[in-house]
Amino acid sequence: MTASAVPAPTPASTGEMSRIRGLKTRRNAELGLLVFAMLLVAAFGATVEANQFDEIRPNFWVPAALIGLLFFGLHMVVRFTAPFADPVLLPSVALLNGIGVAFLRRLDLENAIANKLAVPGFFAETSGRQLAWTLLSLILAAVLLLLLRDHRVVSRYAYTLGLVGIVLMMIPAVLPASISEVNGAKLWIRLGSVSIQPGEFAKLALVSFFAYYLVRKREVLSLASHRVLGIDFPRGRDLGPVLTVWLFSLLVLVFEKDLGTALLYFGLFVVTLYVATERSSWLIIGLILFFGGVYVAYLLGDLVGGPFANFYDRAEVWLDPFSQANYERKSGNSFQLVQGLLGLGTGGLFGTGPGAGSPFKVPEVRTDFIFAGLGEEIGLFGLSALLIVYLLIVERGLHAALAVRDSFGKLVAGGLAFTLGLQVFVILGGITGLIPLTGQTTPFLSAGGSSLMANWLLIAMLLRISDAARRPATSGPERAGGGPKKAPTQLHGAMTEVIKP
């Protein structure tokens, strides 16, 4: 089915490149950064082996080369399908993904040494599985880039995607706990040895739906308002959707026992609203609603327990993780949080060095607490570098949102970039004790297929939008004639770009 779509855009885009010499695709910069990122992954692997085996074995570079090969594959796909895409996105994500795999391999190595087992192969254990998940994720991302030549096509399936998103989000809540509950949070579908976290995919579908909905309603939402205390408050009936989503996210909080996911969905909606309407009142209303809801849930957890008890426990533990009472709590004690904090503290400024720490003292170090485990080994300096890489990824997403010419793309890119940032904030805030701890995965680092696949799809979408944003605007005739699909009529006026004087 791609055969009909592929030949049309390729000659047009190469013609374009020769016509406009000033605009560079910067694909070679991407390749260079990618090689650099893989060198870093190899250096991490080498240091780990030096610390664990007391020697650097000659094949230390193989995992880095393997994963580098996968990224090179995606790079080639980007080169041909999205030649103007942002050059920084792919290598930055590749670095995080590669460090994640390298750290998981480091855990496997230590495990094997401690149990006097043979050194695990490159495709064995958690790191091998993560490598396989990476391959699958990259294939999905490449397929998305190949099939979706114009991000605006997504807006046609907006309502379907919205429904899919809500269904995916609600499945674990209605399934029996034996299938869906892991460590007290009902976020999973477990079928035998495979477990899927459908919520990870739900956010992608929901972003597309929100963006479409808001492109259609933005005028009503931003123009009709009352001014109270210098802030524009929208009319009651326009508040309907935001209140619905608020209730929905509280329901998720109650049934799935997970503050992080609730915060993610709610924050996502509020920020897309803010981006669509340019009204700060939405942010204020959103924050008040969220904190109000959370505080009520906390009080209810204290008074009635039941579905709110889990959240109450987490909040108590967050308020004072080092108190003896919290450490010995019956349900949800502060052991994890304390071990994570001690791990980070042991690392100090520069860390113990890759492979020299003791990450197995931290529970769940492969998934939720991978940042604590990494933090012990690379220290504050290393962690802040990784955080800046996340920040740059989010910044590039927002940049694509600013530069793309159609409102739907703006909202999708802004929403996706913000979700990624918020997710990092939620898990990192949880680990470091800034907010109550919730079981979110660290994007691209944690072991786990669903998260990796969903986040790579997110990056593929950002690449597609940033390609549209940076592509020179001469593609008008190409779109109308050879382009695969015409823009939906609802997104009219899409090609005008307003720059506020």
Please tell me the distance from the alpha carbon of residue 399 to that of residue 50, in angstroms, as a whole number: 40
User: What distance in Å separates the CA atoms of residue 257 and residue 260, rounded to the nearest whole number?
Assistant: 9
Q: Taking CB under 8 A as the rule, does residue 174 contact other proteins?
A: no
Tell me how far, at minimum, the Cβ of 21 lies from other proteins, in Å: 6
| Cβ within 8 Å of residue 374, ≥6 positions away | 99, 103, 359, 382, 383, 386, 445
Q: Is residue 88 within the footprint of other proteins (CB under 8 A)?
A: yes
- Contact 117/110 with Cβ under 8 angstroms? no
With contacts defined by CB under 8 A, name the span among 86-94, 150-158, 281-289, 300-308 that binds other proteins: 86-94
Under rule CB under 8 A, residue 488 binds other proteins: no
And the tokens for 367? 């998934």
Is residue 357 within 8 A of residue 109, CB to CB? The reply is no
Closest by alpha carbon to 367, among 448, 306, 295?
448
Q: Does 4 bind other proteins (CB under 8 A)?
A: no
3-state secondary structure of 191: strand
Q: How far is the CB of 481 from other proteins (least distance, A)?
A: 10
Closest CA to 404 of 416, 392, 421: 416
156 scored as a contact of other proteins (CB under 8 A): no
Return contacts of 393-396, CB within 8 angstroms, 24+ apart: 393/88, 393/89, 393/92, 393/93, 393/417, 393/420, 393/459, 394/418, 394/420, 394/421, 396/86, 396/88, 396/89, 396/92, 396/462, 396/466
Backbone angles phi, psi at 473, to 5 degrees: -75, 10
Strand partners, 195: 190
Out of 67, 78, 374, 389, point to the residue binding other proteins (CB under 8 A).
389
Point out which span in 178-186, 231-239, 344-352, 419-427 binds other proteins (CB under 8 A). 344-352
151 contributes a contact to other proteins by CB under 8 A: no
The reply to whether 24 sits near other proteins by the rule CB under 8 A is yes
Please report whether residue 476 would count as binding other proteins according to CB under 8 A: yes
- Cβ–Cβ under 8 Å, residues 221 and 291: no
Which of the ranges 35-43, 148-156, 317-325, 360-368 carries the binding residues for other proteins, by CB under 8 A? 35-43
Q: Does position 297 bind other proteins by CB under 8 A?
A: no
Give the binding range for other proteins (CB under 8 A) out of 171-179, 234-242, 247-255, 470-478: 470-478
CB proximity list for 31: less than 8 A, separation 6 or greater? 72, 75
Distance of closest approach, residue 314 Cβ to other proteins, in angstroms: 32
Exactly one of 6, 7, 11, 29 binds other proteins (CB under 8 A); that residue is: 29
Binding of residue 498 to other proteins (CB under 8 A)? yes
Which of these segments, 142-150, 164-172, 175-183, 491-499, binds other proteins (CB under 8 A)? 491-499
Residue 144 touches other proteins, criterion: CB under 8 A: no
In this chain, which of 17, 26, 80, 129 binds other proteins, going by CB under 8 A?
26
For residue 214, what is the enclosing H or E element?
helix 198-223
- Pick between residue 116 and residue 500 the one whose CB is nearest to other proteins: 500
Largest CA-CA distance found in the chain, in angstroms, rounded = 70
Task: Indicate which single residue of 154, 273, 275, 378 sits in contact with other proteins (rule: CB under 8 A).
Answer: 378
DSSP β-ladder status, 231-234 and 225-228: antiparallel
Q: Judged by CB under 8 A, which of 8, 12, 17, 50 binds other proteins?
A: 50
Give the SS3 label for residue 233. Answer: strand
Determine, following the binding rule CB under 8 A, whether residue 33 of this chain makes contact with other proteins: yes
Cβ proximity to other proteins, 219 vs 320, nearer residue: 219
- Interface region with other proteins, contact rule CB under 8 A, candidates 5-13, 114-122, 448-456, 487-495: 487-495
Instruction: Please name which of 491, 463, 454, 372 lies closest in space to residue 203, comparing C-alpha atoms.
Output: 454
Q: Per rule CB under 8 A, is residue 397 in the interface with other proteins?
A: no
DSSP E strands, 188-272:
189-191, 194-196, 225-228, 231-234
Question: Which of 396, 425, 448, 465 forms a contact with other proteins (CB under 8 A)?
Answer: 396
Determine the interface stretch with other proteins among 172-180, 251-259, 413-421, 474-482 (rule: CB under 8 A). 474-482
Beta-strand relationship, 189-191 and 225-228: unpaired
Q: Does 21 bind other proteins (CB under 8 A)?
A: yes
Task: Tell me if 403 contacts other proteins by CB under 8 A.
Answer: no
d(CA 190, CA 179): 5
Q: Which among 91-99, 144-152, 240-248, 317-325 is the span making contact with other proteins, rule CB under 8 A? A: 91-99
CA distances from 346 to 338, 343, 364, 373 (A): 12, 5, 18, 10
In the complex with other proteins, which residue's Cβ is closer, 61 or 201?
61
Indicate the Cα dihedral angle 334, 378, 91, 126, nearest 10°: -60
Segment near other proteins (CB under 8 A); pick from 5-13, 107-115, 261-269, 345-353: 345-353
Q: Does 475 bind other proteins (CB under 8 A)?
A: yes
* Least distance from other proteins to the Cβ atom of residue 87, Å: 6
Give the residue with the Cβ less far from other proteins, 31 or 297: 31
| Contact in structure between 271 and 414 (CB atoms under 8 Å) | yes
Footprint of other proteins (CB under 8 A): 21-24, 26, 29, 33, 36-37, 39-40, 43-44, 46-47, 50-51, 54-56, 86-88, 91-92, 95, 350-354, 356, 378-379, 381-382, 385-386, 388-389, 392, 395-396, 472-477, 480, 489, 492-493, 495-501
